[in-house]
Every structure is written in structure tokens, then in C-alpha cells.
Amino acid sequence: MSDNNERDLVDEQISEDIDSVLSGRRKSVKAENSARPSAPGAERRAPVQRIQGGTRPDGAPVRPRQNAQGIPTAIPVQPRQNAQARPQGTPAQPRQNAPQGTPVQQARRAATPPVQQEQMPHAAPVRETEEPDDDIRIARKKTVRDKSETRVTDVGDKVPAAKDTEKKSKIKKKKKKEEDVGGSIVSSLLKTVIYLVTITVIAVVISIFIINVGNDVFAFVKSDELVEVTVPEDATREDIADILYDNGVINYKTAFKLYGSFKKIEENFVAGDYTVSPSMNYKQLYNAFKEKPLTGTQWVTIPEGFTVDEIIDLMLSYKIGGTKEDYVKAINEGDFSEYWFVKELDDNGYDHNRFYKLEGYLFPDTYEFYNASDAYTVVKKMVDRFDEVYGEKLKARADELGMTTDQVVILASIIEKEAGSSSDFRNVSSVFHNRLAEPYNYPRFESDATVVYAIAHERGVRPKEITAKMLEYNSPYNSYTNDGYPPGAIANPGMNALKYALYPADTNYYYFVSFPDGETAFASSYYEHEQNVARLREMQGQSSDD
């Protein structure tokens, strides 16, 4: 059924309801007018109310509207005011309105006879109201609402085929979207599971690696097996790591090297053979190849006549004071200006060819050194002892002879090295004093010991025998080729040598020769001295040309 037909039926229903209401009201008004006595001047009754009712075109009765108690509701009809007054008793003419409504409604209105008002004597004619009363308005609203609902219902029940297709398409798209969403959720869950599993596996692998490295660094659970390893000279941190890894002591070379770098461990490893174990942690392994700091003290005896080079080697053998370079720096550059004899040496100046500034001032004695002592402390302890021994008495004797303290020390060192025994100290001292007293005749000391000192220091090896060729050795310390005192002491003299350097014997000796058996032969003339030298060469098995 089309929308136009539906609207026609609804309009017909509305017209029928309204006509039924109007018809009922007319009949009621007519009955009341006939029953009312007609008297001139009587008051007009209230407008007659009509009850909805009547029949539809199809013959079905139209029920009158009822209130909540089931009583038919009357619709009051308001009298109309005609534009022109008509004589009393003149029947009212029906109002001619313009045809309204659909053709069906107009035909129905034409077939229905107009309601004639009966004339009532002495009463004003009853006029139809121009506007519909409340019941009619309510009926219209209800019908319109029913019409709207009917339209909505009918239109919903009859969707065009295109709309059905569109709806189905939307449903399919919705289902596809739901399927896509579902698939996306499953895919996301699967990715999440894979991600979590991957992270877990990586975390487990990393954790195992960290545990293994930690066990290697700290040696929590490792073998107690002893392993012999050899560290070469000038080994680096990388060399140590390779050696330990190759011998199965450590498992991670990189970790071992990083540990050493992080801890700033110096690469001053000591060459040698070591016994280590995998149960040792990285710190213990690094310390195993280094110098062991000693605790406590050691007693060290410095023999009389030892040179600085010999004292340094002796202290290093006890592992006291550091390195040879530490000792050389302390002896040549250390601040010992608190001692009067060192200050005197600085004030008077000394030969720049001097090998060691404090050579001769390291007093030979027996000392107790701390194993942890540094080179400066060791040297200072020996200089302290020289200060105690030399004293004011020897200083005063040196001033009496016109000698500086350094000259006394140099002379004492030559006496210490030349004399075969302490009993010869005074006579050997007299030889040099006699030469010093006659510089024009004996300008040089001509001591073999000075040549030996120079050769031993510069070549590192002390010659066992002196040849004639060695006496020509080019050195400022060679007292055969250079006048006067050598640049410095050639040894560290003991107390007797210092004493007899200031208290020589009263002799006329100008020469002496020391024999291998400890005997010393003195001579007053050169001829006598040549005889002693020939005897010495004969003992040594040398020719005069050697």
C-alpha cells in the first residue's frame, strides 16, 4: 500500500470520528430543546454537549470517548455568533464552507444530510461553534499520533531493496570488522607472548653469563688445583691474561683485563715462576705477580769502603728503598741542606764531573731498616750517622790543616781503597800529604784506586788487576792524568780512614805499592818505587809492557 493511500484512510477515519461526535451532539441538543418549555424571555440553556458516537462507512460503530470511570465524555459545543441577526423563529441556515478534505471526505459530507435545528419558541437559535472543542482536539491529536506511529511502523516494515542491500553490507562489514578485531587481538596476544618469551630467554642467558663471569672474578666455586706459570720480562696486562687463560686459571680474558683497567693496576709485574690456582680471585692473581711489600725491619751491614753503586746493589738485594733510580735521585737531588757538611759542599761548589754528590757521606755501619723504607729514608739514615761520627773534633782538625770536609772525605776514601790493612792507613795518608805539600814536584795523587773507580762505574765491572794501559784511562777521576783531588770521593770511608786522613804518619814516603797478599810497600824515591812495581808485576805474571 502506498503512502498516499495510507494518508487517505487516516484522514477518513479522522473525519468519521469528528462527524460521529458532531452528530451525537446535535441529537442531544435537539432532545434538550424539545423537552425545555418555551417561554419568552427565558434564559438560554448552556450549550448542549454531544457524545462521541456514530458509525463508520463500513458500518462499524464508533465508541464514544470515555473517562477514567468509563462514563462517556461530552464535548461542549460553543454557540456561534452570526454576522447578521435573523428574526426570531427563522430557521438557521447551515453554514456553507468551502469543501475541505480529500475527495472521499467531501463525498461523505455530501451524502450526510445537514442537521436541522428545530425552532424553539422564545429561544435563541443554537449555533455551531467555529472552533472544535477539547474532545475533538484530543481526538485529532490521538489520530495524528496513531497515524505517525502507523507510518513509522509501515515504513520500517517495508524497506526498499537498496536499503536492505546496504543494511546487509553494513552487517557484513561489521562482522568483518569484528573478525578483524578478533584476529588483531589474537595477533597482538601472540606477539606479546613471543616478546615475553624472547625477553625471558635473553634475561636467562645474560643472567647465566653474569653469574659465570662473577664466579670467575671472585672465584666463588672454582678448582683448588695448583698451576705453575711463568711471567716474562716486561709483561703487560694482556700478557698476564693470556698466560692465565692458556693455563686454565681464568675463563674470561676480557673480564680479567677490564678488571685490571678499572682498578688501575699498574703493569709493573715481576718476571719469574709462580704457583697460582683457579680458586684465586682476580685481585689475588694480579698481586701474585708483583713485588711483595715486606713488613718489619731488616739489619743491613754496609762494609767500609763500599762505593755508592755497591751500597745501592746491596740495599736492592734486601728489597729495601725501591729502585736504583730512586737511590740515585735521592743521593744527587735529595734535600739534605739541614746538615752542615752538605751545606758547606753546596756553598763551596763541587765538580760537575762528580758521579754522586753524597759519595763518601754514606757512613758504613750496621743499620736496622724498615722494609717499607724508601730510598730517601735509607740515605738520610746513613748521612745522619756520618754527622754523628765526624763530629766537631775532626772538623776542627780539618780547619787546622786548611782542608774542607769534602777534601777530607775524598782523601779518606782513597786511603780506604789503597791500604791493604788499617795498620797502613797512617803511612798511606802520609804519602798523599807529602805529595800535597810539594805540588810542584808531585802534582798528582797517582792512585790506582781512582782509575779502578772510574772504570767500575762507567763500565759496570771492577777490574781485578791494573795494567799500565789502564793507567791512561780517560776519566776526570784518573789521578794519573789529572792534578790534585779527583772530582769526588771514590768510596765511603769508615771512621779509621777519616781519622787518619787528618792524622797522617810523619814520613818521607812519596810512593807505595799494594801487593795481592795485603802487604803495602812504601818508597821515598822513584827508583825504589820502580823496584816495588817490578816485584808486583812479577807476582801478577805481567811484563813491563802490559
Q: Which of 363, 529, 334 is nearest to 448 (CA)?
A: 529
Q: Which helix (H) or strand (E) holds 390?
A: helix 375-401
* Residues in Cβ contact with 413 at an 8 Å cutoff, skipping those fewer than 6 apart: 305, 359, 360, 489, 490, 491, 492, 493, 497
- Residue scoring higher pLDDT (177 or 90): 177
Contact predicate 389/405, CB 8 Å? no
- Residue scoring higher pLDDT (59 or 342): 342
C-alpha to C-alpha distance for 354 and 537, rounded to whole angstroms: 32
Quick one: pLDDT at residue 490? 96
Judge whether residue 153 has pLDDT over 50: no
Average pLDDT of 128-156? 52
Judge whether residue 58 has pLDDT over 60: no
C-alpha to C-alpha distance for 461 and 181, rounded to whole angstroms: 96
User: What is the torsion angle, in degrees rounded to the nearest 10, for the CA atoms of residue 523, residue 528, residue 534 and residue 538?
Assistant: -70
Contact predicate 406/348, CB 8 Å? yes
Q: Which residues of 53-79 are buried (b: 16+ CB within 10 A; e: fewer)?
A: bbeeeeeeebebbeeeeeeeebbebeb
Grouping H, G, I as helix, E, B as strand and the rest as coil, residue 513 is strand
Judge whether residue 326 has pLDDT over 90: yes
Quick one: pLDDT at residue 460? 87
Average pLDDT of 131-155? 53
C-alpha to C-alpha distance for 163 and 160, rounded to whole angstroms: 5
Residue-averaged pLDDT of the chain:
79
Quick one: pLDDT at residue 124? 45
Q: Which of 273, 280, 272, 189 is nearest to 234 (CA)?
A: 272
Please provide residue 275's backbone torsions phi and psi, each rounded to the nearest 5 degrees.
-115, 115
* Residues in Cβ contact with 498 at an 8 Å cutoff, skipping those fewer than 6 apart: 389, 390, 394, 408, 409, 412
Quick one: pLDDT at residue 61? 55
| CA gyration radius, the chain | 72
C-alpha separations of 333 from 2, 336, 341, 375, 515 in Å: 126, 9, 16, 12, 39
Could you tell me the pLDDT band of residue 22, with boundaries at 50, 70 and 90? Answer: low
Quick one: pLDDT at residue 82? 47
Least confident segment among 102-116, 118-132, 293-307: 118-132
Note the pTM of the prediction, 2 decimals: 0.52
Quick one: pLDDT at residue 345? 94
Torsion-angle region of 323 (φ positive above 0: left; ψ -120 to 50: alpha; else: beta)? beta
Judge whether residue 538 has pLDDT over 80: yes
Looking at the chain, the domain(s) classified CATH 3.30.1490.480 span 227-288
- Residue scoring higher pLDDT (392 or 56): 392
Quick one: pLDDT at residue 169? 80
Could you tell me the pLDDT band of residue 12, with boundaries at 50, 70 and 90? Answer: low
Grouping H, G, I as helix, E, B as strand and the rest as coil, residue 326 is helix
- Residue scoring higher pLDDT (265 or 10): 265
C-alpha to C-alpha distance for 461 and 239, rounded to whole angstroms: 34
Judge whether residue 197 has pLDDT over 60: yes
C-alpha to C-alpha distance for 332 and 324, rounded to whole angstroms: 12
Average pLDDT of 262-291? 88
C-alpha to C-alpha distance for 391 and 252, rounded to whole angstroms: 64
Quick one: pLDDT at residue 102? 54
Pairing of strands 227-231, 74-76: unpaired
Query: What is the tally of helices (H) and strands (E) in the chain?
Result: 16, 8
227-288 topology per CATH: Dna Ligase; domain 1 (3.30.1490)
Quick one: pLDDT at residue 132? 52
Residue 274: strand pairing partners: 229
Q: Which of 384, 419, 426 is nearest to 491 (CA)?
A: 419
C-alpha to C-alpha distance for 408 and 495, rounded to whole angstroms: 12
C-alpha to C-alpha distance for 298 and 277, rounded to whole angstroms: 31
Question: Which amino acid is present at 261?
Answer: S
Average pLDDT of 188-209? 89
DSSP secondary structure, 25-72, as one string: HHHHHHHHHHHSPP-TTPPPPPPPEEE---B-TTSPBPPPPB-TTSPB
Quick one: pLDDT at residue 6? 55
Question: Which stretch, 46-55, 260-269, 503-512, has highest mean pLDDT?
Answer: 503-512
Contact predicate 52/17, CB 8 Å? yes
